[in-house]
Chain A
Amino acid sequence: MKGIVFTEFIDMVEEEYSLDMVDAIIEDAAPPHGGAYTAVGTYDPTEMGALVGALARRSGNKAPDLLHAFGRRTARRFAEMYPKFFAGHQDVLTFLESIDAVIHVEVLKLYPDAELPRLDAERLDGGIMRLTYHSPRCMADFAEGLIEGAAAHFGEALSLARSQPRGAPSPVVVFTVARGA
């Protein structure tokens, strides 16, 4: 998993909780490098599960909700860090279509060994889009947060339904996204 996901997660914990919480969850998760995450590195994806699990135990929040909130935050942060990928899209649906078609293609040019999730976008009638998330990391809750965060960036209200409920880990999850709340 790309390091930026970890550094963003650590930043979130520091902002939302405290530096002490950061120390604590790193100690709990005990990654081999001592938690010295860098955005340009690549790390074992199970470390993310351990960090989220540690935060859930210590904060009293559910891990799926934490991942969801982290997804929303990451969408906002990506829009700040990589505005180029957001500019030029009139609405969130065309942006969501561009994730696999454009953004992941560009990411792979920079990091040929990156293991990216797949997000198949399919337009249905009535302004509805079906997004099928594929990832062995089973981070659909994070993906859901990202989709919602993207909609917020474009100032759009979306209603979102998913094939598996939040907190039910699955490598394939279908999101049905419709315009309007």
Chain B
Amino acid sequence: MSEEQVWRARLARERAARQEAERLLESKALELYLQNAELERATATLEERVRRRTAELEAALAELTEAHADLKLSNEALKLANRQLNKMSTTDELTNVANRRYFQQRASAEIERIKRHGGQLSLLILDVDLFKRINDDHGHVAGDTVLVELANCIKISIRSADLVARWGGEEFVVLLPECGSNTLPPVAEKLRARIAGHIFSNIRSLTVSIGGAVYCKPESLDAWMTRADTALYNAKAKGRDTVELAAGPQAGLRLDGDSQ
């Protein structure tokens, strides 16, 4: 083999090596190009998914916020309705003072308190004298107005700790905590006089008869009220516009069980 042939062979070998290297590099470059394209596509897909998910979450959040606001609103409406309902269930619709139910609740609670801790408690029952005549002479609307005015008159005549309630019809009750046999007679008399002196809008004046009773342990609310009611009956029998206080629950006692 001539020297030229030898060099030609070497050149051919080197050229073949170069071409092989180029082929491999090209295929590696292509592979990288495809991987890059795939990567870009995957990135775009991921970004789109993130965007979509973010939008979904934002929408859900907005919905939630709105629902929360709605809920808050209806909650407040509910609270208001509840307050109104509560007032309705404890208040006399006409006179706006306490109703019979609320009076019974409060009176029972006060009795329990007295039984546990001692103290004094009194009760007055007021009945408008000759109320039927007012209705007959001036009409039912005027009668109602009289009751409203009477309720207000009682309310401003008693202490803030006392409770006035409409028992029914033209009958009112007053619960007087920390009031015993010493203070009940002047309180009752003062109330009667105040009412008798009050000027009502549709009629000139009216009077009430009052029955009172100091609570005596351990009698029930019913028993206590019955005593006051009997006293009221006696007041009526004595000619109205007068106060009668009940005797104690036990026979022989002129007044109540309170120590004097």
B partners with A: yes
As a 0/1 sequence over residues 207 to 241 of chain B, the CB contacts with chain A under 8 angstroms (1 = contact) are: 00000000000000000000000000000000000
Q: Is A37 an interface residue (CB 8 A)?
A: yes
**Top 10 A-B pairs ranked by shortest CB distance?**
A36-B16, A38-B21, A36-B17, A38-B17, A40-B24, A38-B20, A36-B13, A40-B21, A35-B13, A41-B20
Q: Which secondary structure dominates where chain A touches chain B?
A: loop
* Residue contacts A-B, CB under 8 angstroms, 30 given: A19-B10, A20-B6, A23-B6, A23-B9, A23-B10, A26-B13, A33-B16, A33-B20, A34-B13, A34-B16, A35-B13, A36-B13, A36-B15, A36-B16, A36-B17, A36-B19, A36-B20, A37-B17, A38-B17, A38-B18, A38-B20, A38-B21, A38-B24, A39-B21, A40-B21, A40-B25, A40-B28, A41-B20, A41-B21, A41-B24
List of B residues within 8 angstroms of A20 by Cβ: 6
List of A residues within 8 angstroms of B24 by Cβ: 38, 40-41
Interface residues of B in 1-57 (CB under 8 A from A): 6, 9-10, 12-21, 24-25, 28
List of B residues within 8 angstroms of A39 by Cβ: 21
List of B residues within 8 angstroms of A34 by Cβ: 12-13, 16
> Given the complex of chains A and B, what is the CA–CA distance between A39 and B25 in angstroms?
11
> Given the complex of chains A and B, what is the CA–CA distance between A39 and B20 in angstroms?
10
> Given the complex of chains A and B, what is the CA–CA distance between A20 and B17 in angstroms?
18
Nearest chain-A residue to B21 (Cβ)?
A38
Chain B proximity of A143: nearest CB distance (Å): 26
> Given the complex of chains A and B, what is the CA–CA distance between A34 and B11 in angstroms?
12
List of A residues within 8 angstroms of B19 by Cβ: 36
As a 0/1 sequence over residues 36 to 49 of chain A, the CB contacts with chain B under 8 angstroms (1 = contact) are: 11111100000000
Nearest chain-B residue to A40 (Cβ)?
B24
Extra 5 A-B pairs, beta carbons < 8 Å, given A23-B6, A36-B16? A35-B13, A37-B17, A39-B21, A40-B25, A41-B20
Chain B proximity of A75: nearest CB distance (Å): 24
